[in-house]
Amino acid sequence: DVYSAVAGAVGALYGPLHGGANEAVLKMLARIGNKEAIPAFLEGVKNKKEKMFGFGHRVYKNFDPRANVIRDVAEEVFGLVGRDPLIDIAVELEKCARRDPYFVERKLYPNVDFYSGLVYRALGFPPEFFTVLFAIPRATGYLAHWRESLTDPDVKIMRPQQVYQGVWLRHYPSINVRQPASSDSMWQVAPSNASRRRLAGGSSDVEAHSASG
């Protein structure tokens, strides 16, 4: 149904690498603090000690054309509501990264998330709303896929393509020489409260049924 389709699509936005990337950019800029700290931050990125959010894209390998548009929108919004000090850090970070061979060779340029969080915050939206705002314009695409799945007679189930990248042939010990399952750390996980309630309810129902019989 349409509700499950949209809910599943919104759920796929979860995390700082996708739907929460603009919020991660804000936290990154706040952590940098000022323009003077940018060179040290970039060195940390090169040494794998820092993560730089808002740069790079799976499709736009040279430059994300949306980044220029949203940067101009940011300046327009700041002209109306006041300038966010983080924008100056963002602009300087972009300049430094685009001059650095490390990022240029890897084709790491600002994407749309680099400036969109600043715009959302300037408009008064809390970070918790960012992923929702990110999803709203994509709802038409979600619904187009949903409608296509209903009208295409060749589509019985929509299944993402999966390409196995692991070891092709792997030897394994026979079952009688394997380690007991109790050594698996997953067995150390305590049951949830919901599981306890179900178990408690099931046992009481059985006792009640036995008593009545």
| Residues designated as active site | 18, 57, 113
Pair of tokens at residue 129: 């709303």
In contact, 135 and 19? CB cutoff 8 Å: yes
Cβ neighbours around 120 below 10 Å, total: 20
Find out whether 54 and 28 touch, Cβ atoms under 8 Å.
yes
Coil, strand or helix at 107: coil
- Counting other chains too, the contacts that 61-66 makes at CB distance below 8 Å and 24 or more residues apart are 61/107, 62/107, 62/109, 63/109, 64/109, 64/110, 64/111, 64/112, 66/111, 66/112
Rounded to 5°, angle at Cα 171 from 169 and 175: 135
Tokens found for residue 51: 């993560």
Give start and end residues of each alpha helix (H) in the chain: 2-11, 21-32, 38-46, 65-81, 85-99, 101-105, 113-122, 130-135, 139-151, 193-212
Give yes or no for a contact between 155 and 148, defined as CB atoms under 8 angstroms apart: yes
